[in-house]
Structure 1
Amino acid sequence: MISPRVRYLIFFQYFGTKYSGVMEVSSDQPVLGVQNYLEKAADTLKPSARSKFVISSRTDSRVHALCNAAHIDIERSNGQPPFAERILVEALNRPLKREAIRILGARRVPSSFHARFSARSRTYVYRVATGCSCPFELPVFERNLCWATYRGHLNLPAMQEAAAFLLGTHDFSTFRSASSEIPERRPVRTVARAEIRPASGFLSHHSKNKSVLRLFSLASELRFWELEFTGPSFLYKQVRRMAGVLVAVGQNRLQPRHVEELLQTRDLMAYPQNTIAPPDGLFLKEVEYCEADLETATTEAKRQPL
């Protein structure tokens, strides 16, 4: 008896510091990618053919994901029925329990669905800490989770003014990475939202102990900030480059008008040196799909034989 091959949309998160990035690398490398561990977990399901994760959104080493997405085709052996979504999540999480990776959910989708190309938007958050003179002044819970800058607090109105220039559809050639310069790749991208706001640190956000919070505020001048960007897709390292320029505006090293000038220049060599934000503060927050497409997918999946 032949088992049906079923495609699932998988949502997952990870703490990126200990991985080479989300994408799979050769198994002989000293540091592996998140995908390596996802596929090892899928092997424990004992499918009739090896299952490969197709990742929605690429993230680099030291970049985190609150929620990334991928699709995977699973064909069970010996005519067994497809996995129920809840059972699949539990089965994949079991071999990942020692890793900083967690499967959040699974959803059956039709074979035409593609985790990368069906995505309608992606949202990234970049976290910045100001008011510390060295990384050791950060709370231990914040290390590797934000960019600690040492040039004073940020000029929020100037950053918001500068961010407005990034909104809409532009040629982002100045904000692309030199290491990914591919002639046929279109540098035109759309930024639907660019928001800068004061934020809470991990300790102040999660602790309800007022005495702890009071000690925290007295012992440090730390402030936290979030830069959030939403768009259908982004160029390689575009978010880190946008974040770096906006922080430079917030530090009064650049003026808001310089962001508009960088866009108009359309030359990656014009990007200010030593400005790109480091990877540690970057989080992929969300990958969005059209609910109408997923409802159609659910209907089609239900018609598949069980």
Structure 2
Amino acid sequence: TDFNGVAAVRGAQRAVGVQNYLEEAAARLNSVVPVKFTISSRTDAGVHALSNTAHLDVQRRSGQPPFSPEVLAEALNTHLKHPAIRVLQAFRVPGDFHARYAATSRTYLYRLATGCPRPNQLPVFERNLCWALPADCLDVDAMQEAARHLLGTHDFSAFQSTGSPATTSVRTLRRVSVSPGPASTFVLPQESSRLRFWSLEFESQSFLYRQVRRMTAVLVAVGLGALTPAQVKVILDSQDPLGKYQSRMAPAHGLFLKSVLYGGLGTLVRGVGQEGVYCTLL
């Protein structure tokens, strides 16, 4: 919520990204060469990350031993100046490892809340963490039917925002789920009868620029009865990003990068799954 996205903002601008704070902390490591973070997933301003990943190189002065992963994580956390950023874990990886290009899977979570005729009826602690909808409910069956049209390998041009650096708009969507979300611990008893939370999850090796937020907006339109599941297939097949419905985009604040996975790193991150690389960030 406090950042202009995860990527560093260079120059004299007042806005800052998560990467600015990370590199500021890394400067205190006294590396011979300035430390730069390569982030796996460049989330936009307002988007959250339960777990993002990055790689970095630290070149210590002659005669000094390399930092252990545990010392590196502790040192970065000690020098981080923003309480919303935390290094969860660090690992050694091969010299040719790349946090962005080596990722085999990325999962995004989108949180919705129904039963909010006015935005100010959402609990204050949830206002930056979900998309509040005035409807009392969603047609989840229709949303799941529509989501099945998006599964598999397709040209997702219809769900891509302008400004994408991608050389191809073909992606493989491995999983889409629409389900009731866990109840919020911030909902008061007098609110619990009308407020319901919902979760949408999307998994792919990579996504186009704002693809998840555009797919979410279309699926929500299906859930509200503004679109039919069959129309979602028509939108996908149109490959037109400027059509009437695909120009809609879900708000950034409901989106979370949930996990980034890597294949072939099991021996490097034994005991913690495959989400860790040289530096795992929150």
TM score, norm. by length of structure 1? 0.84
Which residue does the alignment assign to 1:5? Answer: none
Residue 168 in 1 paired to residue 152 in 2? yes
Residue 284 in 1 paired to residue 257 in 2? yes
Deviations along 1:171-215, whole A, 9 cap, x unmatched?
0010000233x5x710000000000000124316xxxxxxx8644
Q: CA RMSD in A?
A: 1.8
For structure 1, the 5+ residue unaligned runs are 1-16, 205-211, 299-306
Q: How many residues align?
A: 270
- Match of 2:14, SS state, is coil
Paired with 1:116 and 1:294, the residues of 2 have a C-alpha distance of 18
Residue 232 in 1 paired to residue 205 in 2? yes
Which structure 1 residue ranges, 4+ long, deviate > 3 Å from structure 2? Answer: 212-216
The structure with the greater share of residues assigned to helix is: 1
Q: Which amino acid aligns with 2:95?
A: S
Deviations along 1:64-101, whole A, 9 cap, x unmatched?
00000000001112421111111111110112253311
Residue 217 in 1 paired to residue 201 in 2? no
For structure 2, the 5+ residue unaligned runs are 271-282
Counterpart of 2:119 (choices 123, 130, 135) is: 135
Which residue does the alignment assign to 1:200? Answer: 182
TM score, norm. by length of structure 2? 0.91
Deviations along 1:98-133, whole A, 9 cap, x unmatched?
331111111000111110111000000000111011
Which residue does the alignment assign to 1:293? Answer: 265
- Match of 2:57, SS state, is strand
Deviations along 1:232-280, whole A, 9 cap, x unmatched?
0000000000101000000000000111001111111125166210100
Paired with 1:129 and 1:44, the residues of 2 have a C-alpha distance of 42
Q: 1:139 offset after TM fit, Å? A: 1.1
Q: Which has the larger radius of gyration?
A: 1
Paired with 1:27 and 1:137, the residues of 2 have a C-alpha distance of 39
1:1-306 equivalences in 2 (<5 Å): 17-96=1-80, 98-180=82-164, 185-203=167-185, 214-218=189-193, 221-270=194-243, 272=245, 275-290=248-263, 292-295=264-267
Paired with 2:70 and 2:49, the residues of 1 have a C-alpha distance of 21
Q: Which amino acid aligns with 2:265?
A: D
Paired with 1:222 and 1:256, the residues of 2 have a C-alpha distance of 25
Percent of paired sites with the same residue: 53
Deviations along 1:142-193, whole A, 9 cap, x unmatched?
111001112331110000000001100000010000233x5x7100000000
